Chains A and B, each alone.
Chain A
């Protein structure tokens, strides 16, 4: 009834906030059983994995990478991402903090069984590597029409 008074939906700010809330709700609460290939928290780079009916998406939070050093491969449902991040170390300076990861890394990620290893795309934007793997057609949810 009074909905319109407090309805600020549609503003750009709200859209962004809502999107962030969705994301935090989605990624923020889950507890997952530790996979056999899971690694300790704090391992570089951190990853998030999300899934829809059509695809599985892997996000690697890897700032400052040269995409050319990345080696992404998939064998059945095992996705391997390897790369190297070189953090330049200037000479003749005094270091106070050195927390940023430097060196090579490799992460092996088990995806759901029904992904299609022939349909993989990867994109690197603002320090996030997003890998999109399509699910096999046969396993996608299908609408069944009643005759």
Chain B
């Protein structure tokens, strides 16, 4: 990971410590950047659209969600890898990102966020004129 990585997607550990009383699952993510913006994909199985919360607070992006699945009455656990029902992870954004126009979609438990860069910081191709 280079320095740039750190700047753009550094996670704020304070957030997680602040909620230490509530157990949360850190969703696994892929984050990549192209000329127009940054894409974040997060695995959040069991989260439906109405149980997903996305927030931008200053330069913090918060991704949270609750797992919901139907479970019959009187069920006993035989085995569990997943021991809590809440996902949570936060990322610090950098200034050149246009946080007002983040696009979010959720399909089969995969959240995809598209965070565009401000127009003025997008790379411009400079045409060379030949006279």
Residues of A within 8 A of B (CB): 16, 19-20, 22-24, 26-30, 32, 35, 41, 45-53, 55-57, 59, 61-65, 87, 90, 92-101, 112, 124-128, 130
CB-contact partner of B29 in A19, A53, A57, A100, under 8 A? A100
Q: Are A64 and B43 in contact (CB under 8 A)?
A: yes
Closest chain B CB from A39 CB (angstroms): 9
B79 neighbours in A (Cβ, 8 Å) = 30, 32, 35, 47-49
Q: Which residue of B lies closest to A125 (CB)?
A: B69
A-B contact count (CB 8 A): 156
B33 and A100 within 8 A (CB): no
Cβ contact within 8 Å between A61 and B85: no
Residue of B nearest to A60 (CB): B45
Task: For the complex formed, measure the closest distance between the CB of A26 and the CB atoms of chain B, giving whole angstroms.
Answer: 5
The answer to whether A28 touches B43, judged by C-beta atoms less than 8 angstroms apart, is: no
10 interchain pairs, CB-CB under 8 A = A27-B80, A46-B82, A59-B69, A63-B44, A96-B1, A96-B5, A99-B29, A100-B29, A127-B109, A128-B109
By secondary structure, the B interface counts as loop
Q: Is the CB of A90 within 8 A of B34?
A: yes
| A28 engages B28 (CB within 8 Å) | no
Roughly how many angstroms separate A66 CA and B75 CA in the complex, as a whole number? 28
Say whether B121 faces chain A, with CB atoms less than 8 Å apart: no
Taken residue by residue from 66 to 97, chain B's Cβ proximity to chain A (1 for < 8 Å, 0 otherwise) reads as 11111111111111111111100000000000
A35 nearest in chain B by CB position: B79
